[in-house]
Each structure stands twice: as structure tokens, then as C-alpha cells.
Amino acid sequence: MSDTLALRPALRPWLREKLLLGRGLRDYLRGFANPADLFTLLVLAVGLPILVARFAFGLGAVTNLSQQTPWGLWIGFDMLCGIALAAGGFSLAAAVHLFGLRAYEPVVKPAILTGFLGYLFAVFGLLADLGQPWRVWYPIAVSFGTTSVMFEVGWCVFLYTLVLFLEFSPALFDWLGLRRWGRALARLTVFLTVAGVMLSTLHQSSLGALFLLAPERLHPLWYSEFLPVFFFVSAIAAGLSMVILESSLAERLFRDRLGRAPHDLDQLVLGLGRGAAVVLFAYFFLRLQGLARGGRFDLLSGTWGGWYLLELVGFVLVPCLLFVAGVRADDASRVRFAAALTVVGVVLGRLNVSIIAFDWAAPVRYVPSWMEVAVSVTLVTLAVQCYRFVVNRMEILGRTA
Amino acid sequence: MTTTHDFTSLYDARALEYALAVVFLALFVVLWRALEAPPREAVAVRRAGWFSLPEGVRLHPGHAWARLEADGLVSVGLDDFGHKLIGPLRDVQLPVPGTALGQGRPAFRLAADGASLPVLAPVSGVVAQVNELGRRAPGRLHADPYGTGWLLKLRPHRGLQANLKQLLSGELARLHMERAAERLAASLTPELGALAADGGAPVHGFARELDPDGWERLARQFLLTDDVKDGGES
């Protein structure tokens, strides 16, 4: 008891320093009185009660999911898109720690943080979607469905989220004043990076393999035996594009958190754009291969064909060419625009496979309810707020040692 | 009973896939070349100590350079020493076309890490063109300070020849650059002295590395603009 009392005077300034950035509570809260933060509060005020309702009254109360359509927006967007957009973590870590591209070191920590938050919130989305979320750990410890793709995805996502946490944790331990722990973990960097590449290769592709199990339900233009390869390759393009967008936004929004001598971000953006151009180019031709293997060119003329071509040309080929043009003109703005198009394209591609072109011939189509959309928006908002919380406190954007 | 095998139709789909693979590889070569070789104005670069200094460029002692172009205009920019001194640029404030500049008078301003540094015009003239790269991507200028990193093109006055005589070229320019580096090494040891002894080269933005608090003053001394007031061009 007396220990607790003795701790109190020391704890308060520590909490104030760490959580409130050294300001008083009232002063700290006053910092949120701006349009962007008020909008965030509005989103949370709508979304969080819906999440509570989902757990209190079940999936049927807030979603349009059914026995025929058990996977909706929370799988198609939160899970599939969240995981794909978080692929920048393993791509950048591999580039710097395995391939020796040290110039990209300033963007590795932000990429790993984005990756970690992407996976964490994808898992939150999954928890909302699972009929019995309290059994989420069953594939890990209780029931081993070793012949199921889902078992492999479950294990990989679990392990890789852990790997991302360990990769991110040196910054966390530094912040908490446990520098020795941070240094010990930093020594595992190469091991963690190798594990990250292996696990990502496995589950990014397995998420595509899930749809191999339903050949008759997915539109023939999107169904391909190469779906696992499509998912893996497009995830790398999405990851690189997210790093371009996220580092550019962070440089504007968190200027005071940058190192004393800011690195030349435009040059890094052009380099990442060069990589993304190559990946998108390969992805475009892989998709053409899938089309050739399916042999259903006749379907390209209809409405579905138009939609397919819009995705393939408008959001794969066009951003690829824009990346090339941006790199050639030394124009980082054009590369950023191409990155935004790529992100939209990968999201559209995932939604096409999981929702839009899935059960395409069913008499009753699934359309997400507004509450499903609100929960997805809430999860993205929470992820952005977590990013902001971490970046404002830990050494993520600053100069690396 | 005879059975006929139409082998060619059996391999139709495969033929298309092989053709696609060949087209991919051929176009990949084009893509790779396009990404590897961004078009740049070819400039023969020679070195003066730690810093690059191409042929045909005349230097102002304040580290601006001038080059007479084939179209009669004079290109102006910041030399390699100046770029390495200041480091990554956040912004470049260039005069609008039509502005008259005088040799040795402030011509443009470079913003880096909270400081705004004026640079003197190497020759007199009227601004004919400004480099959009300076506005769009100031951080890219240093990669090629005498090529794509040009800042202004001036339509020179009649007194151009007299102006040019005031500038350093050839061996003198190289000597000026080397002297500046030596002056830096001599006056700002131990950091740079140790670095010079090791055979290293100054980092990009070395003024800040050497003197984090007073780097702006140091940079202005080298740019010969330590008496130029902020806001007004003296």
C-alpha cells in the first residue's frame, strides 16, 4: 500500500510526459479543437456504438451478411485490402536490411509502423466479422486444420503481426526508457526481416488462394489459377505505393518530428516509384497471362468486361506508365499521383475478387449495409489516430542512427 | 478406324501464353532502359577537390555559376560547393521572368531547414526563364547542379563581356573551389580536418553538421551575403 502511495508522485509526471507530451490535460485536449479532429470524433461517435451493437446483438443486427454471403466488406476491405496495403513493411525491410539499399533507411520505420497497424486493424476487422470471435485463437492452439488454406492464413497473419510488433518495438522500448531491451531486439533485425519476407510471401498469396476454392462463384474474368500470384505481386505494388503516400503525408503533417537534417524525400519517392513501375508492369502482364490461360476473351466485350478493363488498364497500366513518366521527368508529384492510383487500383482489385465479381450471377446480390461501411471507416480512422499517437511520441520519422 | 490428332489446335492457348511472355520480356527491356536513363543535359564534369566543376562554367565568388548558352541566354545556378554547403533545399524563391538583375546583387533565395539564404547574381541581365524543377522539387536540384539543376536563364546586358571578365573560369575557378574547401577545413577543425585526413568528402549540408546553431551565418559568409537583410534585397 505504502509502495503504491510512494509511486504516485513519480507516476503522474511520467504519464504527463509520455501521454500528454508534457502538457496539462486541459491544454492537451484543447489541441483537438480543430475541424479534422472534430470529424474524427464524429466518425468514432457513429462507428463505436455500431461495433458495440455488433458484439451485443450479433452480425445480423448490423450487417447484410447471410448464409449465402458470409464474407462481406469486413473481409473484402478490412482484411484483404488492409493486409495488401500493409505490405510496405516487409518490402522496405527486405530492401534495406537484406538487399543493402541503405538509402531507404529513413522510410523503413514508418513503413513497419504502417504495416503493424495495418495488420492489427485487419485482425480487429476479422474479430468483428467472425461469428464466434472468442475462438479466434483456435487454429493457433486448439484445432489444427492443416489441410485448410484458412489455417495457413491464420498462422501466418498471427506470426507476422508478432514479427511486425518485434520490428517496431525498439522504438517503443526507447520511448519507455528501456533502451537495453530495444538494443537487444534491434540485433534480431535480419532474422525478423527474413521471417517477415517468408511469412508475407506465404499469406499474401494464400489470401488469393482462398478464392481458388470457389471457381464457379467468381466471375471467369477474375478467376484464375494465378490468383495467389496476383495477390502477392499486387501487394508489393500496393505496399510501395503506400510508403510513398504515407511518407509524403508524414513529411507535411509531422514536420516537427522529422530529423534535424531532413533526408531528400523526393529522391526516395522517385526510387520507390521506379520499383513500383517494375512491379506493376510485371503484374499487368501476369493478369494478361491469367486472361490467356482462361481463354475467355469473349467476355471482355460486355459490362463485366468493361469493368475488368477499367481495373486492369485504368488502375494497373496507367499508374505504371505514370510512374515511368514521373521517374523520367524527375517529378515526385507525378509519382505520388501514380501511387494514389495504384492504391485505389489494388483496393478495387481486392473488392472485385471478394465482393463485386463474387457471386456475380446470384439472383440476390450482397450490398454492404451503411453500418458495415461505418465500421470500416471507424477502423481506418482508429489506425490513423494510432499512427499519429505513436509518431508524436516515438522516434519513427526522425533520423535513424 | 483412323484417329487424327490436331496438335496445333491443342497448343493454341499455350502459344498465346508463350507469345505474351516473349512480348513481356521485350517490353521489359524498354521499360528498364526508360527507368535507368532519365534524360539529362549532358555536362562534362570535372572535379575540383571534393566538388564537381564542369568545363565551360564560370564561377562567381559567391558560389553562383553562369554559362553562356548557344541561344545567347546565360544559365545561372548554384555550384556544387554551395549545394553541399546548404544541403537539402526546402524551397527556392526565384524572381519572375522580366525581373532585371545586377551582377553581385541578390538574385534568388534558397530555403533550407528554417533559413532563407540569398545568392548573388553572377552576371547582369533580365530573367528570361526560371527552372520549374526549382519550385516543384527543390530537393532534386543538387543531383545535377550544372545540368538539370540550373535555376535562371538571363537575357544578358550589353556589358556581358565585362561581366564575364569578373568571373572565374578554367584553372582559376578550380583553384577558387579548392581554396574554399581548404579554408573550410582549416577554420573548422576538428570535424572537417579529421574528415579530410581520412580521405572522406563533406556530407550534403555540411554547414549544418559543423555548426548546428550558427550554420546560417557560416553559409552566408561563403555565399558573400552576410550583409544582405532578410526580406529586402540590399
In tens, the pLDDT along A246-283 reads: 988 888 787 767 654 445 677 789 899 999 999 999 99
Of B17, B140, B209, the CB nearest to A292: B17
Determine contact, residues A227/A206, Cβ cutoff 8 Å. no
Instruction: State the fold for domain B47-223.
Output: OB fold (Dihydrolipoamide Acetyltransferase, E2P) (2.40.50)
The residues that bridge with B110 in the sheet, in sequence order, are B92, B117
Would you state the cell numbers that stand for residue B61, as one nine-digit string? 565568388
Tens-place pLDDT, residues B35-93: 886 554 444 445 556 777 777 788 898 889 998 877 778 899 998 888 888 888 888 88
Task: Provide the b/e sequence for A137-150 (b: ≥16 CB within 10 Å).
Answer: eebeeeeeeeeebe
What is the pLDDT, as a whole number, of residue A199?
A: 94
The pLDDT assigned to A261 comes to 41
Q: Which of A123, A92, A93, A352 is nearest to A231 (CA)?
A: A352
Q: Hey, where are the domains in chain B? A: 47-223
User: HSE (CB half, 13 Å, CA atoms) of A32?
Assistant: 14
Please state, in angstroms and as integers, the Cα–Cα distance from residue A399 to each residue in A167, A244, A260, A261, following that order: 17, 18, 7, 8
* Closest to B167 (Cα-Cα) out of B83, B60, B71: B60
Task: Specify the pLDDT at position B44.
Answer: 46
pLDDT of residue B43: 45
Helix runs in A254-369, H state only:
265-294, 303-309, 318-328, 332-351
Provide, as residue numbers in chain B, all residues whose Cβ is less than 8 Å from the Cβ of A295: 13
CB contact under 8 A, A267 and B205: no
Cα(A322)–Cα(A342) distance, integer angstroms: 10
Best mutation target among A240, A247, A264 (most B Cβ atoms within 10 Å) is: A264
- Which residues of B are less than 8 Å from A285 in CB distance? 20, 23-24
Tell me if the bond preceding B190 is cis, omega within 30° of 0. Answer: yes
Q: Which residue has the higher pLDDT, A38 or A257?
A: A38
Spatial distance between the Cα atoms of A283 and A311, rounded to a whole number of angstroms? 12
Of the listed ranges B48-52, B164-168, B173-177, B219-223, the one predicted with least confidence: B48-52
Is A288 in contact with B31 (Cβ distance < 8 A)? Answer: no
Q: How far apart are CA A355 and CA A348, in angstroms?
A: 10
| Mean predicted confidence (pLDDT) in B145-171 | 84
- Point out the residue among A261, A266, A292 whose CB comes nearest to the CB of B140: A266
Amino acid at A1: M
Q: pLDDT tens for residues B95-114?
A: 988 889 988 889 898 888 77
Residue matched to cell numbers 495488420: A119
DSSP class of residue A358 equals B
Confidence tier at A400 by pLDDT (50, 70, 90): very low
Q: Is residue B48 within 8 Å of B174, Cβ to Cβ? A: yes
Which H/E stretch holds residue B127?
strand B125-130
User: What single string gives the DSSP state of each residue in A184-234?
Assistant: HHHTTHHHHHHHHHHHHHHHHHHHHHGGGG-TTTB-TTT--TTHHHHHHHH
Query: Which of B231, B12, B18 minimizes the C-alpha distance to A297?
Result: B12
- Which chain B positions have a beta carbon within 8 Å of A282's beta carbon? 24, 28
Q: For residues A36-52, give the mean pLDDT.
A: 94
| Percentage of the residues of chain A whose pLDDT score is greater than 90 | 63
Of A295, A327, A331, the CB nearest to B13: A295
Residues with Cβ within 8 Å of residue A293, at least 6 apart in sequence? A224, A225, A226, B13, B17
Is residue A74 within 8 A of residue A126, CB to CB? The reply is: yes
Query: CB A264 to CB B139 under 8 A?
Result: yes
DSSP B205: T
Q: What is the pLDDT of residues A176-185, one digit of tens each?
A: 888 888 888 8
Comparison of pLDDT for A261 and A111, the residue scoring more:
A111
Give the residue among A113, A122, A114, A115 at the shortest CA–CA distance from A81: A122
- Give A267 to chain B, closest Cα distance, Å: 7
User: In this structure, what DSSP letter does residue B168 have?
Assistant: B
CB contact under 8 A, A266 and B137: yes
Lowest-pLDDT range of A52-61, A323-332, B212-221: B212-221
CB contact, 8 Å: A165 with chain B? no
> Which letter does DSSP use for residue B111 in this model?
E
**pLDDT given for residue A104 in this prediction:** 87
A281 to chain B: nearest residue by CA?
Answer: B28
Interface contact B143-A267, CB threshold 8 A: yes
Query: Is residue A1 scored above 50 in pLDDT?
Result: no
pTM above 0.80, yes or no: no
pLDDT band at B234 (very low <50, low <70, confident <90, very high): very low
Name the residue among B16, B38, B212 with its Cβ closest to that of A330. Answer: B38
Q: In the prediction, which pLDDT does B216 show?
A: 82
